[in-house]
Chains A and B, each alone.
Chain A
């Protein structure tokens, strides 16, 4: 699979604080990466460097193109960025207008747009929000509307900056499951910044951003072997991973089990 994101020796500093020093990071097309890191370590900055919203030293490639002025239009047309604060994503007062606004003008017929709109509403199960104005929505509902608009744009790369932080866990898990579906079936590449390590179980790679560089980047299974590294950055491993590891240690189970019910059945056979 080809690389969709390439960062080679990226340096970035704000005034006297060095945020990244010789940062290298390569992401293959079709990956679902959970990006973790302490608050203030530069996760949002890293995403914004990729979209060119923050200028860097031209060492970042997206889809084979360097992130610089003349390529920005082409790069951004492939990227969907959902901000942490949903207010930053919303434009129109009406929920439907807001979602439709993300389709470039004149690209599709009105009929086609309506079809795409209905499809995304059904996919995300958010028809109950349609008769509200965006200013009336709760924080979590705004985040849902924001993700609907971004998906409608048909982006190839989703950059999600803590985009589901205001959703309840049940709804969040539902959305993550749907994203995982798009990731598998449409080869959508996803970089998902979150503070909840439990979410990483939906993705297949984990990146742990430490001070100035990546502390870890690799497949989930490898990541879960590096407990010390994660604890150092303030993350306890997901609950079921911890439970599996500890129960394995006490010889209660023999393998790692993520599903609660299966775990119970395994312990009390």
Chain B
């Protein structure tokens, strides 16, 4: 599904200032896009607009065939079937007592055949790295990281075309993050999902994104592929965005010694470069 925002602004009720200002975005089918920005920059509001949880004060959002504007909202049931959203506070999303009931509810709602339900639940849990035994655990007993995994599983069960994830890495440790990178890459490559991730964790997204939007004070201040975006060190610093470590190192080498050692995602590739240039 293709997603487009045309001149979208949003103002909270009773506020004097716009929270989002004239946002234009175009996200192609099957792309992974990151929205970067510091805390309070408007990321979550933007995510909520894309998820049709709010309607824009001005402008139009199109998600595939759905249109979201001040006076048009898509049919909630149809929209929620195509667009899966994981919010920043996953526990707010849980309505049922056990993990099993939570996952079943979504599928029953979308009229999945009962014999498929069990299999899909197990598949979804496996994908996010939770074992089968979690099915009968109470969702309130889960740790924060596990809740985030469950929230993701609860949208994967009904196989949405678009995934919208608000800071999906909070509460995950590094190996969980690596698994998440693997999972999202697989969802993109094999199933051509369109994935939007709001975050400030550049270390996580630089391994998987196609395109980056940088949000600051409700405006898009920078956009492009990761290499062009990460070259704007000063602007990013102003937006409280830290460069991924490998890229920060390459930048430091360039600034201090005027040597271009290339941008690397992986520390071992970086070390090979250093070795080559240091000799």
On chain B, the number of residues with a Cβ less than 8 Å from chain A's Cβ atoms is: 47
- Inter-chain CA distance A170–B237, complex, in Å, is 8
Given that A247-B271, A247-B274, A252-B274 are known contacts, is A162 also in contact with B171, CB under 8 Å in the complex?
A: yes
**Listed residue (B44, B91, B167, B245) with the most chain A CB atoms within 10 angstroms of its CB:** B245
CB distance from B254 to the nearest CB of A (A): 9
Contacts of A261 in B (CB 8 A): 252, 256
Closest to B245 in A: A239
Given that A246-B271, A261-B256, A267-B278 are known contacts, is A170 also in contact with B240, CB under 8 Å in the complex?
A: yes
Contacting chain B: which of A21-29, A64-72, A133-141? A133-141
**Listed residue (A38, A139, A235) with the most chain B CB atoms within 10 angstroms of its CB:** A139
Given that A138-B44, A162-B171 are known contacts, is A171 also in contact with B241, CB under 8 Å in the complex?
A: no
Contacts of B44 in A (CB 8 A): 138-139
B271 in contact with A234 (CB, 8 Å): no
Which chain B residues (21-42) contact chain A, with CB distance < 8 Å?
38-40
A264 in contact with B253 (CB, 8 Å): yes
B145 in contact with A39 (CB, 8 Å): yes
Closest to B44 in A: A138
A165 in contact with B170 (CB, 8 Å): yes
A40 in contact with B142 (CB, 8 Å): yes
Report if A221 contacts B (CB, 8 A). no
Report if B190 contacts A (CB, 8 A). no
B171, B237, B278: the one within 8 Å of A84 (CB): B171
Report if B172 contacts A (CB, 8 A). yes
Report if B200 contacts A (CB, 8 A). yes
Closest to A259 in B: B252
Report if A110 contacts B (CB, 8 A). no
Given that A39-B146, A140-B39, A246-B271 are known contacts, is A166 also in contact with B170, CB under 8 Å in the complex?
A: yes
CB distance from B99 to the nearest CB of A (A): 13
CB distance from A180 to the nearest CB of B (A): 18
- Inter-chain CA distance A250–B267, complex, in Å, is 14
B145, B200, B259, B274: the one within 8 Å of A169 (CB): B200
Report if A85 contacts B (CB, 8 A). yes
B39, B237, B249: the one within 8 Å of A167 (CB): B39
Report if B227 contacts A (CB, 8 A). no
- Inter-chain CA distance A38–B142, complex, in Å, is 13
- Inter-chain CA distance A218–B274, complex, in Å, is 32
A195 in contact with B145 (CB, 8 Å): yes
Report if A236 contacts B (CB, 8 A). yes
Report if B73 contacts A (CB, 8 A). no
CB distance from A62 to the nearest CB of B (A): 23
A235 in contact with B174 (CB, 8 Å): yes
A195, A246, A264: the one within 8 Å of B256 (CB): A264
Contacts of A140 in B (CB 8 A): 38-40
Report if B12 contacts A (CB, 8 A). yes
- Inter-chain CA distance A61–B175, complex, in Å, is 33
Contacts of B109 in A (CB 8 A): none
- The list of the 5 closest CB pairs from A to B, nearest first, reads A140-B39, A39-B145, A234-B175, A168-B200, A170-B240
- Hey, which bits of chain A sit against chain B, CB under 8 A? 14, 36-40, 43-44, 84-85, 87, 136-141, 162, 165-171, 195-197, 234-236, 239-240, 242-243, 246-247, 250, 252, 260-261, 263-265, 267-268
Given contacts A85-B144, A234-B174, 10 further A-B contacts (CB under 8 A): A36-B173, A38-B173, A38-B176, A141-B40, A170-B237, A171-B240, A246-B268, A252-B278, A263-B249, A264-B249
